[in-house]
């Protein structure tokens, strides 16, 4: 009995430390400055340094949000919960659109729907991989309410603020192509490239 209690305490502590490590890692990634060549590339349009920094900031936030998807995938793998949850997505979209009062509601909805779809693409890919491997339950799976949603809630207002700076730039010629080019460098934790591409769909042609 004593051993079981100690094991349970150890696992709880491990999940807690894992959550805080993720928060620390996301904060560290956000503080990273744009890398060399952020304003130009083969075939890319000329982009002002300040605009390039805004684009990079949004893409880093997209990467940080996508990095949470493996945690969600583990939790749902253990629980057997559905990856696709349209009613909950609609509730979140309504809340986010209301929160982003100064932005076009349709633009905000399209952006966040793309992030939901990217996360689901990554989760589906991981679940398919784990099924092929015959994986069992994960001992380090996080609790969605306690460990994951606070991280997403922290990222949401940052994404909204970044969108406010990005939206006027989308009218510039070639800007979607430039954003897609930069995303290949800055959106990295996406398994096979599909989640990254999904995260950019539907909102750049504003």
pLDDT by residue (tens digit) across 15-25? Answer: 544 444 444 44
Give the residue among 69, 59, 101, 80 at the shortest CA–CA distance from 203. Answer: 59
Domains, the chain, ranges and CATH? 2-32+49-199 (1.20.59.10)
Give the residue among 87, 124, 91, 93 at the shortest CA–CA distance from 110. Answer: 93
- % of the chain with per-residue pLDDT over 90: 72
What's the chain's average pLDDT?
A: 84
Question: CB burial class (10 A; 0-12, 13-18, 19+) of residue 164?
Answer: middle
pLDDT, mean of residues 100-115: 96
Side-chain-side CA neighbours of 195 within 13 Å: the count stands at 26
pLDDT, mean of residues 78-95: 96
| Residue 204 and residue 176 in contact, taking contact as beta carbons nearer than 8 Å | yes
Q: How many CB atoms lie within 10 A of CB 6?
A: 10
| Residue 65 and residue 114 in contact, taking contact as beta carbons nearer than 8 Å | no
Q: Record the tokens describing residue 161, joined without a space.
A: 């603020």
Counting every residue, how long is the chain? 206
Distance separating alpha carbons of residues 172 and 195, to the nearest angstrom: 25
Predicted local distance difference test score (pLDDT) of residue 35: 47
Distance separating alpha carbons of residues 16 and 94, to the nearest angstrom: 30
Choose between 143 and 40: higher pLDDT: 143
Q: Record the tokens describing residue 135, joined without a space.
A: 């994986």
Distance separating alpha carbons of residues 172 and 103, to the nearest angstrom: 18
| Residue 125 and residue 194 in contact, taking contact as beta carbons nearer than 8 Å | yes
Q: Is the confidence at residue 123, as pLDDT, over 80?
A: yes
Distance separating alpha carbons of residues 47 and 39, to the nearest angstrom: 5
Predicted local distance difference test score (pLDDT) of residue 205: 77
Residue 46's pLDDT band (cuts 50, 70, 90) = confident
């Amino acid at each position: 009995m004593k051993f079981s209690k100690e094991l349970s305490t150890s696992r709880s502590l491990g999940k807690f430390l894992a959550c805080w490590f993720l928060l620390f890692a996301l904060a560290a990634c956000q503080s990273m400055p744009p890398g060399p060549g952020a304003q130009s590339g083969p075939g890319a349009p000329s982009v002002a340094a300040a605009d390039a920094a805004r684009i990079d900031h949004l893409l880093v936030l997209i990467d940080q949000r996508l990095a949470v998807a493996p945690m969600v995938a583990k939790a749902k793998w253990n629980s057997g919960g559905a990856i696709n949850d349209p009613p909950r997505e609609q509730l979140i979209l309504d809340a986010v659109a209301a929160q982003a009062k100064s932005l076009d509601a349709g633009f905000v909805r399209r952006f966040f729907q793309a992030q939901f779809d990217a996360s689901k693409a990554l989760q589906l890919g991981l679940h398919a991989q784990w099924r092929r491997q015959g994986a069992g339950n994960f001992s380090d799976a996080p609790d969605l309410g306690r460990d994951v949603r606070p991280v997403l809630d922290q990222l949401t207002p940052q994404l909204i603020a970044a969108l406010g700076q990005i939206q006027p730039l989308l009218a510039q010629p070639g800007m979607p192509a430039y954003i897609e080019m930069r995303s290949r460098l800055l959106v990295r934790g996406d398994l096979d490239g599909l989640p990254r591409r999904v995260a950019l769909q539907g909102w750049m042609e504003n």
